Amino acid sequence: MILRQITTCAAPATTIATARSRGHDRQVLYRLGVCHRHRWLAQDWPGTRTTAPDGSGRCGTAVDHRTYDGVVQSHIDLWIRPATTQDLPEHGGSAARLLRAAAAWAQQDSRGEHALAVVLGHAATVAEAIEAGSLNIESGRHQVLAALSAAETTDAALRGA
């Protein structure tokens, strides 16, 4: 399970987006809560929308139960590609190369996204170490996902969310 924070908003969640696996087990893949003001952030998160029960959590909090590859792809689909135009196919399927290119983009961006570049650069460094075989895969994956979560929150803050 991965905890993601896609906003810096401290308001309580009013809407919950829940995605479930297909098939008979229908396991929860993720659950994202957003407040009324930030409900637009959940529009690209497929799933069922429900009204959040009182006290159900903070706006922008996502509990993600997908695989490592599924969570990385979600980060790419939901904010890295839209923000940086970087995608896995153009980097030979290498998350490390994609993250390095995204960090370089953020470093060059005129909006002062240095903090985003730093966090994406850290994620890239860890992913490169995994690919090189110099870091334990499981430990490295946890570090990549933690860095991506921090980058996602940083990106949200830069967008005013």
Mark whether 60 and 136 lie in a shared domain. no
By residue range, what is the domain housing residue 102? 68-158
Low-confidence residues of the chain, pLDDT below 70? 109-112
Instruction: Of 64, 110, 111, 87, give the one whose Cα is nearest residue 102.
Output: 87
Question: What's the number of domains the chain is made of?
Answer: 2
Mark whether 73 and 140 lie in a shared domain. yes
Mark whether 112 and 40 lie in a shared domain. no
In this prediction, residue 111 carries a pLDDT of: 61
In this prediction, residue 114 carries a pLDDT of: 86
Neighbours of 141 (CB within 10 A): 19
Cα(129)–Cα(145) distance, rounded to whole angstroms? 14
